Amino acid sequence: MSGAANHNDARSLPAGANAAAPLLEIRDLRVSFSLEDGRRLTAVDGINLSVSPGEAIGIAGESGSGKSTAASAIMGLLPPNGRIDSGSIRYRGLDLVAEGAPLRRTRWREIAVVFQGSLVALNPVIKVRDQVAEAIELRLGEPANAAREKAKRLLADVGIPDKRLEAYPHQLSGGQRQRAMLAVALSCSPAVLIGDEPTTALDVIVQAQILELLDRMRHEYGLGLILITHDLAVIADMCDRVAIMYGGRIVESGSVREVFTNPRHPYTQALLGAAPDARAGRRTIKVLEGQPPDLASLPPGCHFAPRCPLADARCTEEDPPTVSYEDRVTLACHRYEPNGGALPAPVAAPYPVLELGKR
Amino acid sequence: MKLRGWLLGRVGGALATILMVLLLNFVLFRLMPGSPDRALARNPRVSAEAIAAARVRWGLDKPLFPDQLVAYVGATLSGDFGYSVKYGGREVTSVIGEKIAPTLLIVGLGEIIALTAGIALGAWTGWRRGKFGDRVGTLSALILYSMPYFWLGMLLVTLFATTLGWLPTSGISTPGGPGGVAGIVDLLRHAALPIATIALGLIGQYAILLRSSVAEALREGYVLTARAKGLRDDRILRGHILPNALLPTVTLAALNAGYVIGGALTVEIVFSWPGLGLLTQEALQSRDYPVLQGIFLLLAISVVVANLLADLLYSRLDPRVRHGAAR
């Protein structure tokens, strides 16, 4: 597409950024929230993550695992009771967490986000075209006419027909709204796009269309994509790498192929085994018992230990260190020894198995 | 097409309401105790013949239904509101007509000031919800909102007219006062306190309503999107929050416009302001049916029209209503 071709040619970086530094790099990020009863809830507990241009990273986990909080922290949009306790988020070497970070400069121009539920993420009383043009005009300083023209091209690019340009969000279908939201997100030609459950509210056909569009945009624009979802199938289709989160920590990460074919962490195994697989003819699911952890009173040791069939005394006493194996997989589990960094064989966790269709 | 049908329905409904008011207006005043001829009879020097003649002249000798009703509806529809009993037989339209301007002056200006200040205060406190400024602002708005007009008016008179002596206590102009520019200044000095009373009484209403809709809008996803876009706070407030949050306030303002006539009653009494409110009170005391009927009809029509206006305005401002979409 014409708009995308010159996208990365003349990118001006914000002051203090270094074109040679990694696109987005998160180091040991800790985020907590203060609760009304005075306790602190640790939502993100020391995560490491990096994204390169054109790369797609999936973050998976149950609700409350901290995946959306991580996205808010990257945008600098934590709610008033949230706080980044430690760690760094660097965009091209520029620390976005530090005091006086140029968030006004980086938001949307460098890092944009597509939220879940475009019906609420778009303003109901403003035409979609104007919502796309707004950031082009106000953030890139382009004249109003040029911004509207560019908005028109962007909307066409994401598949909104010309006759819907003057439409309000409620006049569009759910899929069209999410397309429009994608056009809003791409309006300032960001280098990083975060998708926070971007297709969760859509039916499967529309979801597939949006994902295809997202994939196309990633390749056209050379976007670093962070896809946050609880849907592992979406990550399998879309992403190069995956990070599995539980209780605010990344318990396992690696290439999608490696993690999905040889899940090593007991939680990853449960997550992958929790859905029946029609294509593989599998009619059994693994049953993960218990509740996600209460982040306001986390027990010592591994956060997953209370639900883990493999847990022993050490798991409830010591935090498992995150170990990197052959630069392909990271694991935080006491069941695996560092053994010089060689990739260990998976240890199957004995979950109860439920056979579907039987009583 | 859909919009036109909707519009026709609304206008038709408004007309039907006005017709009902016309009937009610007729019945209501006939149910009230006392009547103009009996008021006349209290004067011992009026002869029985004169009373009977007055009854014939006023049509009171005919039965209520159908004669009096038909006569009333027919005359009203043709713009004839009858003659005032109290004001020596002057036409009701002229008695009411000369009181409209003074009322519109104080209520209109009061509304405009209240709307402007109320929107500013409501947006400011809503944006800072929970903070110190919000608490002080909301408490002040609540106090103003809960104060009756007559009490607020009396406080202002005591402070600015009696104690400080800056402004006149009542009336619309200084008797035998100057004309020209000095006369306008004199009028505005008299109008200042009534306008301030109406404005202060309404500010709280607008501020509290807008505050809650701004605070509600702040939790919406589109505000998060606007923040993520890196927009400045004032742009988020003006460009994204207010276009949504103002909808109920604008509707309330349009509805309030319907009470221009009735709302000023207590204020006009406190300040002896010669407007429709004071006229209503006088007409009530002297059982001046034709004038009262005229005022009530005017009041009803303005409320109905204001409702229609609020509907239309809301549909203009909210595209979801305009396109008939259910949320």
Mark which residues 74-113 of B lie under 8 Å from A by CB.
none
The DSSP symbol for A258 reads H
- Considering its fold, how many domains does chain A have in total? 1
Mark which residues 220-239 of B lie under 8 Å from A by CB.
220-222, 224-232, 235, 239
Tokens of B99: 């009181």
Whether residue B1 has pLDDT greater than 70: no
Residue with tokens 């002040």: B140
At A2, is the pLDDT very low, low, confident or very high (cuts 50, 70, 90)?
Answer: very low
Tokens of B291: 């004038």
CB atoms within 10 A of CB A26: 22
Whether residue A8 has pLDDT greater than 60: no
Tell me the pLDDT tens digit for each residue of A187-237.
998 999 999 888 877 888 888 888 998 899 899 888 999 999 988 889 998
CA distance A115 to chain B (A): 8
Tell me the pLDDT tens digit for each residue of B120-148.
999 999 998 888 888 888 898 888 888 88
Q: Are A245 and A63 in contact (CB under 8 A)?
A: no
Tell me the pLDDT tens digit for each residue of B225-236.
998 988 988 999
Interface touch B221/A120, C-beta < 8 Å: yes
CA-based nearest residue to B23, from B58, B65, B79: B65
Q: Are A52 and A223 in contact (CB under 8 A)?
A: no
Domain residue spans of chain B: 2-77, 95-322
Residue A194 bridge partners (DSSP): A113, A226
Residues of A in contact with B321 (CB under 8 A): none
Is residue A161 reached through a cis peptide bond, with omega within 30 degrees of 0 on the bond before it?
no
A306 domain-assigned: yes
Interface touch A139/B224, C-beta < 8 Å: no
Between A165 and A120, residue with greater pLDDT: A165
Q: Which of B213, B216, B222, B316 to mutate to test the interface with A (most CBs of A within 10 A)?
A: B222
Residue with tokens 């007055």: B54
The average pLDDT across B211-226 equals 90
CA distance B319 to chain A (A): 6
Residues of A in contact with B240 (CB under 8 A): 123, 126
Query: Could you tell me which chain B residue has the CA closest to the CA of A133?
Result: B229
| Average pLDDT along chain A | 86
Give the helix ranges, DSSP H, for chain B: 2-31, 36-41, 48-58, 69-77, 92-127, 132-146, 149-156, 180-217, 221-228, 233-235, 242-257, 260-263, 265-270, 276-285, 289-317, 319-322
- Each as own residue / partner, the long-range contacts of residues B69-73 (CB below 8 Å, 24 or more positions apart, any chain) are B69/B23, B69/B26, B72/B26, B72/B293, B73/B22, B73/B23, B73/B26
| Interatomic CA distance for residues B250 and B240, integer angstroms | 16
Interface touch A123/B243, C-beta < 8 Å: yes
Interface touch A125/B318, C-beta < 8 Å: yes
A323 domain-assigned: yes
At A152, is the pLDDT very low, low, confident or very high (cuts 50, 70, 90)?
Answer: very high
**Which positions ≥6 away from A251 have C-beta within 8 Å?**
A244, A245, A265, A267, A268, A304, A331, A332, A333
At A279, is the pLDDT very low, low, confident or very high (cuts 50, 70, 90)?
Answer: low
Provide the b/e sequence for A95-104 (b: ≥16 CB within 10 Å): bbbeeebbbe
Q: Are A329 and A252 in contact (CB under 8 A)?
A: yes
pLDDT of residue A10: 46
CA distance A122 to chain B (A): 5
A218 domain-assigned: no
| Interatomic CA distance for residues B114 and B204, integer angstroms | 8
**Which positions ≥6 away from A338 have C-beta within 8 Å?**
A323
Q: Which domain holds residue A341?
A: 248-355
Residue B304 bridge partners (DSSP): none
Give percent of chain B with pLDDT exceeding 90.
10
CB atoms within 10 A of CB A171: 16
Query: Could you tell me which chain A residue has the CA closest to the CA of B246?
Result: A125
pLDDT of residue B145: 87
Sheet holding A24-34, edge to edge: A40-51, A24-34, A82-91, A94-95
pLDDT of residue B263: 65
At A333, is the pLDDT very low, low, confident or very high (cuts 50, 70, 90)?
Answer: very high
Tell me the pLDDT tens digit for each residue of B284-311.
888 777 788 888 888 888 888 888 888 8
CB atoms within 10 A of CB B140: 15
| Cα angle value A197/A68/B238 (rounded, 5°) | 85
B86: left (phi over 0), alpha (psi -120 to 50) or beta: alpha
Residue with tokens 């209240």: B114
Residues of A in contact with B230 (CB under 8 A): 103-109, 135, 139
Query: Could you tell me which chain A residue has the CA closest to the CA of B220?
Result: A120
Q: How many CA atoms lie within 13 A of A346 on its CB side?
A: 17
The average pLDDT across A321-334 equals 91
Give backbone dihedrals phi and psi of A84, rounded to 5 degrees, phi first: -90, 115
pLDDT of residue B325: 45
CA-based nearest residue to A292, from A279, A274, A307, A277: A307
Residue A330 bridge partners (DSSP): A253, A324
| Interatomic CA distance for residues A313 and A307, integer angstroms | 13
Whether residue A3 has pLDDT greater than 50: no
Secondary structure E strands in A169-309: 192-196, 224-229, 241-246, 249-255, 284-286
Query: Could you tell me which chain A residue has the CA closest to the CA of B235?
Result: A138
Interface of A with B (CB under 8 A): 75, 77, 103-109, 112-113, 115, 117, 120-126, 134-135, 138-139, 168, 170-171, 184
CA-based nearest residue to B42, from B53, B34, B32, B33: B34
Residue A41 bridge partners (DSSP): A33
Q: Are A185 and A219 in contact (CB under 8 A)?
A: no
A254 domain-assigned: yes
Tell me the pLDDT tens digit for each residue of B36-64.
677 777 788 888 888 888 888 777 788 87
Q: Which of A123, A130, A134 to mutate to test the interface with B (most CBs of B within 10 A)?
A: A123
Interface touch A123/B319, C-beta < 8 Å: no
| Interatomic CA distance for residues A161 and A165, integer angstroms | 7
Query: Could you tell me which chain A residue has the CA closest to the CA of B245?
Result: A125
A263 domain-assigned: yes
A36 domain-assigned: no
Q: Are A326 and A339 in contact (CB under 8 A)?
A: no
Whether residue A293 has pLDDT greater than 90: no
A268 domain-assigned: yes
Sign of the Cα torsion A347, A350, A356, A358 reads: positive
Interface touch B319/A117, C-beta < 8 Å: no
Which range of A276-285, A340-349, B118-127 scores highest in mean pLDDT? It is B118-127
What is the end-to-end Cα distance of chain B in Å, rounded?
21
**ipTM (interface predicted TM):** 0.84
Pairing type for strands A224-229 and A192-196 reads parallel
Provide the b/e sequence for B255-294 (b: ≥16 CB within 10 Å): ebbbbbbbbbbbbbbbbebbbbbbbbeebeebbbbbbbbb
Tokens of B107: 């209520």
Q: What is the value of pTM for the model shown?
A: 0.79
Question: Which superfamily does B95-322 belong to?
Answer: MetI-like (1.10.3720.10)
Mark which residues 47-76 of B lie under 8 Å from A by CB.
none
The average pLDDT across B231-242 equals 91
Whether residue B167 has pLDDT greater than 90: no
Residues of B in contact with A164 (CB under 8 A): none
Whether residue A292 has pLDDT greater than 90: no
Three-state secondary-structure class, residue B33: coil
Residues of B in contact with A115 (CB under 8 A): 221, 224-225
| Average pLDDT along chain B | 83
Residue with tokens 């103002």: B246
At A173, is the pLDDT very low, low, confident or very high (cuts 50, 70, 90)?
Answer: confident
Residue A249 bridge partners (DSSP): A246
The average pLDDT across A7-31 equals 79
Tell me the pLDDT tens digit for each residue of A100-135.
777 778 889 899 998 876 667 899 889 999 999 998
Give the helix ranges, DSSP H, for A245-349: 256-261, 266-273
| Chain A CB within 8 Å of residue B324 CB | no
Residue A285 bridge partners (DSSP): A354
Q: To 10 degrees, the CA torsion angle through B57, B58, B61, B62?
A: 110
pLDDT of residue A58: 95
Give percent of chain A with pLDDT exceeding 90.
38
Query: Could you tell me which chain B residue has the CA closest to the CA of A127?
Result: B319
Burial of A159 (0-12, 13-18, 19+ CB in 10 A): middle
Query: Could you tell me which chain A residue has the CA closest to the CA of B244?
Result: A125
pLDDT of residue A1: 41
Of B229, B235, B244, the CB nearest to A108: B229
